[in-house]
Chains A and B, each alone.
Chain A
Amino acid sequence: MAAPASSHGVSVDVNGEQIELEVPARRLLVHFLRDDLGLTGTHVGCDTGNCGACTVHVNGEPVKSCMLLAVQADGARITTVEGLAADGELTPLQRSFNEHHALQCGYCTPGMLMSATALLERTPRPSEEEVRVALQGNICRCTGYVNIVEAVVAAGGGA
């Protein structure tokens, strides 16, 4: 029996750009984004899929990119935090994070923004409870979530 291939070609759309790369079979999607593509806005905060700092969108759905191999994303459309304000204009959610002081160290922020952006796409005016449920997979150790939740609710037009 032949040994399994140790690397594979991957073809992905990342923030609107088509990428073709040969990657080791074991490479995590998060390391593919950070190390191979230099998109360092996506962060790593744990080894276990708990913290959500690495959240990106894969075909529009929020996904923890440390829980996926790069080869599993072959053919997918990926959006990272760098893709949110791709035209240079901050999104209303990004502005709301600034206005509500929803970040301190900023390490969890990319993941929070990606989870919250996905929420706002499917639920444009979320309640506080809906925001908390949507963000339960993202850990923040600085803010106690108070201002993050406020910022997301406000970005949806809520109080």
Chain B
Amino acid sequence: MTTVTDQPAKTLEKGYVGQSIPRKEDERLVQGLGTFFDDVRRHGMGYVHFVRSPYAHAKIVSIDVSKALELDGVYGTITGDEVAISTDPFFEMSVEPGGLIKDYALAVGRVRHMGEPVAAVCAATRELARDAAELVEVSYDPQPVLVTAEESLKDEVVLHDDAGSNVVWSGVFEWGDVDQALAEADHVVKIDRLHFHRFSSTPLECAGALVEYDRGTGEWTLHCNHQMPGVGAIWMAPALRVGIDKLRFVTQDIGGGFGNKICLHPQYVVLCLLARKLGRPVQWTEWRTDQHTANAHGNERTFLDVEVAVKADGEMTGFKVRALDDCGAFPRYEPLGCIIWAQVTPGMYGWRNIKVDFTQVCTNKSPVSPNRGYSRMQHLWLTERIVDIVAAELGLDPVEVRKKNYVKAEQMPYETPNGCVYDSGDYAAALDLVLDLVDHGSIEERRQEAASRGKLLGFGIGSTLDSGTNNFGQSTLLNPELQFSGNNEAASVKLDIFGEVVVTLGTVPQGQGHETTAAQVVADIIGCSPDQVNVRRGHDTWFNSHAGFSGTYASQFAFTGLGAVKGAAELLREEMVQLAAAVLQADTDAIELADGMARIKDGPEEAALPFMALGAIVNANNAFLPPDFNPTLNHRYVCRPYFGMVDTEKKTGQLTLTYATQIHAAVVEVDPDTGEVEIVDYAAVDDCGVRINPQIVEGQVHGATAHAIGAALSEEFVYDEEGTLLTSNFYDYHVPHALDMPPLKTGAMESPSPVAPLGAKGMGEGGGGGIHCICAAIQDALASAGKPIVSTSCNPPHRVWAMLRDPESSRAGVTVVSK
């Protein structure tokens, strides 16, 4: 169900943009004719299997590969010692101490998490590679293990001797004057500890690549599923001691990414080394267990000593918190998560006094990587928990307290305390829409009805922002020496000899429908049908349609990806019009492009050139064109959004450009005997400005909601005290199945972005709205059962049951000081 409210008119003329045209990608995918990296074959290729550590922390005493090499059909091996000689450590983004960490493609001297690769074997078949890996003898000297950030912080055991501390990065952010706000508050609500748990989106296709090395040119080609090749190459090329021109990334169809395919550079470097060493193509497909154990988890974050300033009328004026982030064994993409959250510093609220004391540490767990909602989701969960705990403790209505404190529509564009600009939106109206969808007025009646069946009913709201189009300059707030700022993405559009319209993208879609939406944009600009636009599948460095930050991440395709497509299509359009005017001997003003033709407006029928004629003239029949007119009908455009510079002293700046609104509401029923939570009603409202393809937008809302429901109720990477992952496959790590998902109601609003090229905002990540609203709904459901506080983001039945049995222990962490 979709409900659309009356909103301002779209910024574009009516055309294909804004229509739910069926996706162009689907025809091949529904026939099993997609091409994923694991479908690519090469003659003589070898299969790679990694030898992985069974220990969470150990010194490597010795590695003996001789028995593996004796096996018939084994092509070769590689170990950490060889990697340490033939590569340099990956570039680290942090200042000291984290910046001193040495991270290689394979473990060198020590393993720091279960599943860390210590060697790799390449053999003629998958089965043989796995057998040979079993024959590699590794002797370990186990070391004490750190599985919580709080333990790591003590530095009694240090994971990286080069750094001398487990702290990767720490810093204090303060905007406004939070101590004064607390002093002037009528109520101060204190929360000792909140914990955002460790999970990931676990894309159904695991990571991998087929890597070829060309000995003649020294170039590698990676047929792969890396979702951010621009930055992947920045990590890999210096480590391999080559120029970036030696790495060609090719992606075709990708089976989901969600950020979890950004940090694949260690494994890919091993593949590059093996391909060069063995003189043959090498292929690696990650096993599911390995993805869960040792690829990419989402950031785990603990919030300590929260203090919230609240006025008597329910206005919240500020908060302070100590945030402790656990990035696992290596800060691969980190410490960027230590600043990315600041894109949404105040959440959706108007408080002006905020202090965040942020520290990130390493532990003996899998490294993290961006994960749908990266770093902002954790922070938004904090702001939403604060609002609902304050509301519960002070007896305020969760709806009213939100409306009172939301940034108002008339304040847009709104500058946050740290200099970010919320570009557009009407949060209160979006909340009203979602309340209608779940029939909020009937909640008390439904609560009584549920009680008559012995169930505890609860209602919760999750208000989130999906901030899109990163300013990489925010990295300088972590490390002023970093030479990153701004953002960019490229695309090319050309008209070919028989009139074919061909688009190449720098983006790396993993299911977001870029081929369809790019075709819609191009079709409107050059006057044809999306069916006539061939958008090349995936990313290829050799398309020459990429830029330094190319990839699909950080909710930015709608801005930078389509902005590049629009820019290139407009350049093509201009030339097509000039060419048609020259051939038809008319003014350019008199030319229109429509129905796959260039023609004179209101002119005779024969005064028209089909695209085929334009393409043929330029490409194959151009002798009559004058020497000073040289159209190419082939245009590359780089979309470079403008941010301005960040202020590293005040830690302010425009950290991102667009803010999509997502408000979720859940109604749950809790079984007091088992702690089981059933979602009985659910709605999500999305406002991402202009929707290029509403059906695709709604699909992203569905998917982000499913991820959030899974995270809120079951998905958790659980470690024991020895650092062994207990949830390393889909048996133990339960993701929602068709029977687990409640019916989802969706609603949409359109508040066009005034800064985005098409008025469209990135929205695919969502802000974890489902996690926030389910936590709130569980807390509300349990209000009549001792009023426990929901202090963790994952609440499977055993946790809910524990809260029901002992509500006081969770309440002990919350105090209210009223004046």
Name A residues whose Cβ lies closer than 8 Å to a Cβ of B: 24, 26-27, 31, 34, 38-48, 50-51, 53, 80-82, 84-85, 90, 94, 97-99, 101, 103-110, 113, 131-133, 135-149
Contacts and interface: CB of A to CB of B under 8 A. Distances in A.
Interface residues of B, number: 60
A92 to B, nearest CB: 11
A81 B32 CA distance: 6
A131 B513 CA distance: 25
Report which residue of B22, B26, B729 has the largest number of chain A beta carbons within 10 angstroms of its beta carbon.
B26
Contact of B204 (A90, A97, A108, A113): A108
Interface string B704-736: 011101000000000000000000011100011
Nearest to B35: A40
A145 B729 CA distance: 21
Contacts of B22: 98-99, 101
B23 A98 contact: yes
Given A48-B731, A131-B738, A103 B204 contact: no
Nearest to A131: B738
Nearest to A133: B739
B31 A145 contact: no
Given A24-B127, A139-B730, A144 B31 contact: no
A42 B203 CA distance: 16
Interface in B91-130: 125-127
12 contacts: A40-B36, A45-B206, A47-B287, A47-B289, A50-B731, A53-B204, A82-B32, A101-B22, A103-B511, A104-B512, A105-B511, A146-B743
B524 interface: no
Interface string B466-483: 000000000000000000
Interface stretch (B253-261, B611-619, B628-636, B811-819): B253-261
Contacts of A81: 30-32
B204 A104 contact: no
Pairs of residues from A and B, 3 with the lowest C-beta to C-beta distance, nearest first: A41-B32, A107-B255, A105-B511
Given A103-B29, A141-B203, A141-B204, A51 B511 contact: no
Contacts of A146: 702, 741, 743-744
B426 interface: no
B440 interface: no
Given A106-B25, A141-B202, A51 B38 contact: no
B738 A105 contact: no
B738 A40 contact: no
B699 A105 contact: no
Contacts of B511: 103-106, 142
Nearest to A48: B729
B696 interface: yes
A105 B205 contact: yes
Given A46-B288, A105-B510, A106-B34, A142 B741 contact: no
A147 B702 contact: yes
At the interface, is chain A mostly helix, strand, loop or mixed?
loop
Contacts of A147: 699, 702
Contact of B31 (A48, A82, A141): A82
Interface centre among B26, B32, B125 (most CB of A within 10 A): B32
Contacts of A94: 30-31
A103 B699 CA distance: 9
B644 interface: no
Contacts of A34: 38-39
Contact of B29 (A46, A106, A138): A106
A39 to B, nearest CB: 7
A149 B255 contact: no
Given A81-B30, A142-B703, 11 more contacts: A48-B731, A53-B204, A82-B33, A103-B26, A103-B29, A106-B29, A113-B30, A133-B738, A138-B738, A141-B706, A148-B738
A105 B204 contact: yes
Interface of B: 20, 22-23, 25-27, 29-36, 38-39, 41, 125-127, 201-206, 253-256, 258, 285, 287-289, 510-513, 695-696, 698-699, 702-703, 705-707, 709, 729-731, 735-739, 741, 743-744
B253 A145 contact: no
Contacts of A38: 41
Contact of A44 (B25, B27, B38, B735): B38
Contacts of A142: 256, 511, 699, 703
Contacts of B739: 132-133, 136
A6 B685 CA distance: 58
Contacts of A53: 204
A155 to B, nearest CB: 12
A135 B740 CA distance: 11
Contacts of B289: 47-48
Nearest to B29: A106
A106 B288 contact: no
A81 B31 CA distance: 6
Contact of A50 (B31, B125, B730): B730
Given A50-B730, A85-B31, A107-B36, A101 B204 contact: no
Given A45-B204, A105-B510, A147-B702, A141 B735 contact: yes
B204 A47 contact: no
Contacts of A99: 22
B735 A48 contact: no
A84 B512 contact: no
Contacts of A131: 738
Contact of A98 (B30, B34, B288): B30
A148 B29 CA distance: 14
A105 B201 contact: no
A80 B425 CA distance: 47
Interface centre among B29, B126, B739, B744, by most A CB within 10 Å? Answer: B29
Contact of A106 (B126, B255, B699, B709): B255
A110 B32 contact: yes
B38 A50 contact: no
Contacts of B23: 98, 101, 103
In this complex, the member of A82, A85, A98, A108 whose beta carbon has the largest number of chain B beta carbons within 10 angstroms is A98
B222 to A, nearest CB: 19
B737 A144 contact: no
Contacts of A109: 29-30
Contacts of B731: 48, 50
Nearest to B705: A144
B806 to A, nearest CB: 34
Contact of B33 (A27, A41, A50, A135): A41
